[in-house]
Amino acid sequence: MGLFCVAVIFVGCIGSADEGPLLSVVGPCNLQFPGDHGAHPAYRTEWWYYTGNVRSENGLPYGYQLTFFRVRLESPDTADRWPLPPSAWRTRQIYMSHAAVSDLSAQRHFHAELAARNALDMAGAVQTPTETIVHVKNWSVCIGPDAHRLRAEAPAFSFHLALRPVKKPVLHGDRGYSRKGSLVTQASCYYSFTRLETRGDLVVKGEKRAVSGFSWMDHEYSTAPVEDGIVGWDWFCFQMDDGTDIMLYRLRLEDGQMHSASSGTILDVEGKATHLSSGSFRLTPVDTWQSPVSGARYPMRWTVEIFPLSMMLTVASSLDDQEMQTPGTTNETYWEGSVRVDGQAGSRRVKGRGYVEMTGYAKPFGTALYD
């Protein structure tokens, strides 16, 4: 799901006024491809989000994350009054990126972040008739007709991966209109590639390995801030061994209960999607882990019940410390990590791998994008 709201720490980089007023998501998005793989600069925030579980040729397991954020800045005092002469540095769009690798056999997690203005080719989203390229400095994703190609390079790790879709993109909610609160405008346009065959190279601390496995991609954009009373969320994606893919998110209220706008999607092996309302599933945290850095206490094991599938799952972290600290970009602390999935669907035993994102545990995640 990505970070639905981002606390931006950049100032003084507002740009030209030719992008028009901010738009809100208010109904079915009816997304079309490849056009909607690109940026939607009339909305306040947007993200392209990739996670995956891969293995080296000798069976060593790894998880990875690569996310690109676009944030449009507004200043009520200067939105219609621009200083002259114009500057090539001026822009309303800021791009940020988070990347991480979880070395699961060695039980260690590495993460890094980048940020740049959408100016002077430092960052941005470029679209051709066949490709979308999003980049922040030398990190990039290229979404082509047959594959998504990811590149990230940091001091402790790097990866170059090619991801080929097994299923077509799925539109979540009502034709891509995904509610995130009580109001009609508290929503996003949201789609996913739920199963991407993944191959490439991964380097951790100078050791290069050829890896393969499966990845998940989310692309989402919105203008709405988080609704008052929602302190964070818990987002799950599972790729089951039988070919079923599952996405669930729980918008978490101050008392720990689930907001009624929480929802999910199930894709069967053929890619047929079924929407799940908040009453169709239950997420129950069991064990916890406390971060020695932030002091936040995160659930590390969950019981997941999906009533239409008669499914009862145990979801457990593959590595407890997969916390992300991002003081140079979004200024949020959150947990983003690889998980194992095991359980029953009716009388059948089911297993899988996935990723979980948990926000609002270090502090309530209630900052509007324009603060």
Total domains in the chain come to 1
Residue 4 falls within a domain, yes or no? no
Q: Which two tokens mark 49?
A: 């989000």
Domain that residue 326 falls in: 35-77+90-358
Give dist(CA 332, CA 365) in Å, integer.
Answer: 8
Residue 363 falls within a domain, yes or no? no
Residue 315 falls within a domain, yes or no? yes
The CATH number given to whatever domain includes residue 350 is 2.40.370.10
Residue 366 falls within a domain, yes or no? no
Residue 29 falls within a domain, yes or no? no
Three-class secondary structure assignment of the chain? CCCCCCCCCCCCCCCCCCCCCCCCCCCCCCCCCCHHHCCCCCCCEEEEEEEEEEEECCCCEEEEEEEEEEEECCCCCCCCCCCCCCCCCCCCEEEEEEEEEEECCCCEEEEEEEEEECCCCCEEEEECCCCEEEEECCEEEEECCCCEEEEEECCCEEEEEEEEECCCCEECCECCEEECCCCCCCEEEEEEEEEEEEEEEEEECCEEEEEEEEEEEEEEEECCCCCCCEEEEEEEEEEECCCCEEEEEEEEECCCCECCCCEEEEECCCCCEEEECHHHEEEEECCEEECCCCCCEEECEEEEEEHHHCEEEEEEECCCCCEEECCCCCCCEEEEEEEEEEEEECCEEEEEEEEEEECCCCCCCCCCCCC
Residue 213 falls within a domain, yes or no? yes
For 315-361, write each residue's pLDDT tens digit.
999 999 999 999 999 999 999 999 999 999 999 999 999 999 999 99
Return the pLDDT at 76.
Answer: 45
Give dist(CA 119, CA 95) in Å, integer.
Answer: 10
* Beta carbons within 10 angstroms of residue 146's beta carbon: 8
Q: For the chain, what is the mean pLDDT? A: 91
Give the angle 361-365-367 at the CA atoms, nearest 5°: 155
Q: Which two tokens mark 114?
A: 């980048």
Residue 135 falls within a domain, yes or no? yes
For 287-308, write each residue's pLDDT tens digit.
999 999 999 999 999 999 999 9
Return the pLDDT at 266.
Answer: 98
Residue 85 falls within a domain, yes or no? no
Return the pLDDT at 182.
Answer: 94
Q: Provide the whole-model pTM.
A: 0.92
Whether residue 108 has pLDDT greater than 80: yes
For 236-271, write each residue's pLDDT tens digit.
999 999 999 999 999 999 998 999 999 999 999 999
